[in-house]
Chain A
Amino acid sequence: MITFFEDQGYRAFLPLTYSRPVYEMRCGIYTLRERVEMLLGTPPHAICRRHLAAVYGSGRWPLRLLAHGTPLTLVNGRALAVDWLPDLLHEPLNTIYVTEDDQLLGARLSPSLASAVMLNLLHQDATPALDELRRFARVVEVKTRLLVFPWDMVALNAEQIARDVALLASVHGWPTAAERPPADPSIVVHNPAQVYLHPAARLDGPLVLDARDGPIVIDAAHIEPFSFIQGPTAIGAGSLIASARIRAETTIGPVCRVGGEVEASIIQGYSNKHHDGFLGHSYLGEWVNIGAMTTNSDLKNTYGTIRVMLTEHGQIDSGQMKLGCFLADHVKLGIGVHLNGGAVIGTGSNIFGIHFAPKTVPPFTWGGEVFREYRIERMIQVARKVMSRRKIELVPDQENMLRDVFAQTRGSRADMAEPAALPSPGDEALAQAETYVVQSYEAA
């Protein structure tokens, strides 16, 4: 039984991980959960924070994980490559894998030893768990790395796409463009042996697929004419590429609408960036909407490294010369908003009517020149409308999770203007912005 766990490292990914566990963040073609499920053919279980457990885990108090006499295989939710996992499954009982920097990567444990660390893992505290496991288990050091900071996902996306392509080819066996060339002669393919096309992918020429620098994977998506796609890139099922320039090292998850120019970015899924505007070296969560001409910077004029304000660490130098923005789930940006490199916008925030957005915006915030707390009822109302336009229901567990995140992050909005007691001109602007967002998710 494979079970993911979140360790204390999830904190470095806040605010992106307020509303999703680390193992549900996309890097490469897949999330870790999808990757392991593809590798082993069975859905993994998960121990995560309690407010996420009903949506993404195995329940708030997952005692049933230990209810079987079978060994429990633990996998760190921050793991990226999983080539070590088959080896772990064949290790003797009570073996643990640690990374070179001495962090718990995985473990194959008896129920009794797993029960000894269960409470630590329920509290995302892997350090004492590792100390305890060292006393009773065989330790093997593995040369692999865990994701540490949000920009690792962006920086490592290209090499992970290449690894995932091997997995995809072995599991799904999609034909390459060399094996089954596109019928439309106006579709130009460079290095067709590295272009993997789902049988249901719809390619409308003229367009260019350039896989000379890395593989291109197109699931059952629709690529509109005049698009340019450069590998390594992955495009998820149900997505629409609207005459866009998709440059290398980009992953677009399922059911996204993408236009304009995108470079070295990850779009988790169900998000829109339908119009012109540049998105580079960035990460977008789910249900994000970016208005027309909204653009982010990913390079300083000084060519210096970019600093990012993280909830856990405060301001930190990413060491990256090229780095864009991080938008958490349900973030909405209006038209013509400019974002600085290293900008971080928290879950559910709605920013509009401003030329330059602040570099850090707390979760559940709305506004432009003045920021206010976005009342949770109203935010959920919009999320429900947006999701219903993609034929997806906002289930009570998801709604409760968002309410929990709202409560958890209240402190970050303490300095903001009080929500207006009476309707104000700002409220009308918010209503207009919300209408625009809902409309942009036109019925699928």
Chain B
Amino acid sequence: MVTNRPQTLTRITTVLIALMLGMVQGFAQSETDPNSPTPVLLNQAGSKRVLAIPAWKYDGGDPNDLATEVFRPGSEVIFFVRNIELMKGEEANAFRINVSDALGRNYRFNVVDLFPVDAKGFEGVYALKVRLIDSLGFWSESMNEGDVHVSVAWRGLASEKLRLGYGSTGGNLKDVETGDSKSQTSPSAELVLGRFAGDRMRFFEQAGFGPNTALDSRVRRIGIRTYLAEQLEAQYPSIGNPYPIIPLKSTDTQNTLGCGTVPVPRTPEYDVCIRDHYTMYPIQRWFFTDALYGESQLRHKVSWALSQIWVISGAGGVTQQSSWMIAYHQKLSEHAFGNYRDLMRDITLNPGMGNYLDMARSTRNNPNENYPREILQLFTVGLFMLNQDGTIIVDGQGNPVPTYDQTDVDNFTEVFTGWTFCSVGCTNSLPSIPNYKDPMIVTNANNHNITSKSLFNYPGAPNPTIPACTGCTGTNTINYANASLEQTLDNIFYHPNVGPFVSKLLIQHMVTSDPTPAYVGRVAAVFNNNGAGVRGDMKSVIRTILLDPEARGDVKTDPNFGKLREPVQLATNLLRALNVKNAALNGPSDGVITNYTNGVGQNPFNSPTVFNYYAPDFTIPGTALLGPEFGIMTTGTAIGRANVVNTMTFGQIGTGANNPSGTRIDLAEFTALAAADPTGNQLLDALNHKMMHGTMSPQMRAIILPAFTAVSAATPAARAQAAIYLVATSSQFQVQR
């Protein structure tokens, strides 16, 4: 692997200076080098073949003496890796061996052990014990014997590919000249963009809705750590964009407490009444406005992620009113920077959820399993028992161990009986209008099941049983119900699965679809204990996710690092990067941009089901790779996304009844660059920085540059449009990486 020389040098310099000053922890926090070194897999002298030894033969010492060429499938083999700096507790599960064969098929070998090599001349070299068994399991036939390529990935960085004799050597494996295809940040670019510009710009995508010019220049000065600390304390919703205040209405739109009888002919006032109360329009508009312009990017992002985990939806009119969804979102955002246990309680009792998953209708005599099942499956513990690094625990036969069974669901269901809307005596109680704002309560004691329940019984489980409330009636039952609910939520919350389950979901929404177990484990450990003995502290969890070395760095080369931009992220990232304004370009966009997401699979707050727009365990068709967002990336939506970019780049969202000011990108900055530099290089540099955080490959550049400069230099705006279209429709940009 050709190392990234300028960055390596600067890193070394930084470390030296820090050491000399003896203040590693405190030194210029904003300039902490986010880059991990790129791992180097040792090769056999003078060859592209990996240096490897059967594990049973190796007991330390100089590996060159024992180098072997052919390895038995299924056996354990030692590889050697250098140029890594391990953190405390960083172990074998931080490494993956990616494998590809002569047919171009991908496999993965697990690293099962890691230890330093104790031999002269091998200081800093680690031995990786690798099991030559494909852990992905996609191909039903076993791997063909012959040479395969192996590469080690660590913290989002991949080593060079080397050959391994799998069963035998030979075969048709072609060596690819990988070279260094990633663009480099030149020293002069560093002066302009600031150091670690790539890392900074990626951070804005992970921790918000993408970079814009103002954020970029500000954080260039203060650094992402200071920015992150600010974000964790920032006012939410952002200043100038409070939650819309929408009153509750009758569930009958035609009721006088609704929008009344439909006027003939329909009037604009009536249409607005329906739109604002009985559709998700107000919250969508508010949501996009905050994503495009809000200061509290991180909390907005985490709330958006939570809304895709704890899903309720306006689809099919189930969550009928925007006011219900707003009340719901307020709870999500309140606890996004709070504690997960509080989120569990407030969402359980939220009337929107009570309606969406039927807890509001579940009674002792007619229980409803919907909510109890999904709070376990989707919101807290998941289907299978997990190790603390998020990997699934299997039994002796290799089958995953279920977290619970139908009997457990039955028992949890009994707890969640009897709650309903607070129609009298709560802040928002109104006659004849269901209270979809205040927490649900138990009003009819008869509706709660007072028999004993058996809950989770993991080691140390609080409240593994809820005793019966023998002979209870009235207030006694209601008190018992409320206490039981808290005990039950504790029983779920302290389940060992919750940390890794929730941590992995949040990592997937923010950083990468297929995090290493080590990364999940680091975040789960903080979920379990934030260092001050608190479990479920969201600020600590989010900080850990974003500052993890697997998330950070200027360039990521692991083939499995990153995630497809979901439609909301695609649209907002582009619009922010392209200085979004209103249609007249004289003010802000009105935030009505669902046109850019609905047709490609994501209508915000209208998920098709409680399973969200895409499943967290979705594997990309034709692969075994986790890629949740690919669940809505089909032949149809792939073209749909290009057509969204086409409209955004060459057109606009004009004004209309529901679009008071419209939405349009402001090309001025890019047109000026196109005009100033007829070669097109300045424009492309800017797009590379703003849209791809400097990762545009030389090949990509070589394709795009002549294509947009085929547009006459006399029309620089058209040049800018062509360039933007090509970057924005590229697969390279579809993936946040």
* A and B held together in a complex: no
